[in-house]
Structure 1
Amino acid sequence: MFFDNWFGILRVLVVGTLAYSALVVTLRISGKRTLAKLNAFDLVVTVALGSTLASVLLTESVALLEGITAFALLVGLQYVVAWFSVRSKRFSEAVKSEPTLLLHRGRFLEGSLREQRVTREEILASLRGAGAAEPADVAAVVLETDGSMSVIKNPPPEGSRGTLESVRTVQAPEGAG
């Protein structure tokens, strides 16, 4: 249960190092978009890459080259989806979700909450995280395509300096410049 043989440990060390290296190289070649937190497809690719790495590491029946091929396939498919999404509005609409307004001017939008399966408590937690005490303190809460919530604060009242009050002017030392 705790130890089978030294060959198994050696295999995990060697194959793990090579598989990890192949994954890093594949991700560097594919660019930042492959692991972006943008939509459900990005999450699926991230989870699938992790699952593939685990399979290569711990399953003797999965050869290293098979794992590397799986990495390349997943990253390649992600590239194709991203490529078509950028070039075709219809394709993009089919594979990506749109942001959803959940709270507007202090009012919860019940239909959107039900459709997106979000509770009032989750929105209130997002408000607290953004430094707002009450729903009336914000202009809107938006459920983004990556599942995060954006809190859009009310604009500062007319005539106030808003966030500029917190900006300090830093003087250059005499003789500089």
Structure 2
Amino acid sequence: MKWQQMLFQDWEGVVRTLLVGVLAYIALVIFLRVSGKRTLAKLNAFDLVVTVALGSTLSAILLQESIALAEGATALLLLIGMQYGVTFLSVRSKGFAKLVRSEPQLLVRNGEVLERVMRKERVTQDETLSAIRSSGGRSIEDVEAVILESDGSLSVILRG
């Protein structure tokens, strides 16, 4: 009997999930379209946190009967509004931008590994070499610069 409840409880829960799921999804898509492309851009840790929070909120709206659609839509709108506010302020204030976004870091300069910076940023030499190979280089000596970007990716500038 108990295993049957794990698989199916009643049709009311299924219908609620379908109805609220479709409406919450539509609300999320509308909010994201209105807020612009930057809301889910792959830029920094803050953007990742917002993206995960949106997914978690949508999941809670779908699966928790105690959360009404209006409350869930308000939570989604709040997260998107906060993200919009942060990006709005970041574009207009360098100080605020520094507070929420990390600066790119130079890891390799003219074939020389900046070990202190790599240690501080927790990047291994193997990760750096992998990025160099992906960019068409063979070794550290082939590189003019390797930069750890704000989004965590490694940019490689090969020597001419």
TM over 0.5: yes
Unpaired runs of at least 5, structure 1: 156-177
The number of residues matched between the two structures is 155
Q: Secondary structure at the match of 2:48?
A: helix
Deviations 1:7-48 (A, max 9, x none): 211111111111111000000000001011111211111111
Normalised to the residue count of structure 2, the TM-score between the two structures is 0.92
Question: Larger Rg: 1 or 2?
Answer: 1
Are 2:85 and 1:84 equivalent residues in the alignment? no
Deviations 1:83-108 (A, max 9, x none): 11111121112221100011122221
Unpaired runs of at least 5, structure 2: 1-5
Aligned runs of 1:97-112 on 2, under 5 Å? 97-112=102-117
Name whichever structure is richer in helix by fraction.
2
Structure-2 separation of matches of 1:129 and 1:17: 41
Structure-2 separation of matches of 1:36 and 1:105: 31
Give the counterpart of 1:45 among 50, 69, 73: 50
- Which residue is 1:144 aligned to? 149
Structure 1 residue ranges (4+ consecutive) displaced by more than 3 angstroms after TM superposition: none
The structure with higher relative contact order (CA 8 Å, sep 6+) is 2
Structure-1 separation of matches of 2:67 and 2:136: 49
Structure-1 separation of matches of 2:153 and 2:66: 39
Structure-2 separation of matches of 1:71 and 1:48: 9
Structure-2 separation of matches of 1:117 and 1:23: 35
Deviations 1:116-161 (A, max 9, x none): 1111111111112112111111211111001111111112xxxxxx
What is the aligned-residue RMSD (CA, Å)?
1.0
Aligned runs of 1:12-23 on 2, under 5 Å? 12-23=17-28
Structure-2 separation of matches of 1:4 and 1:16: 18
- Judge which range, 22-31 or 63-72, deviates more: 63-72
- Which residue is 1:126 aligned to? 131
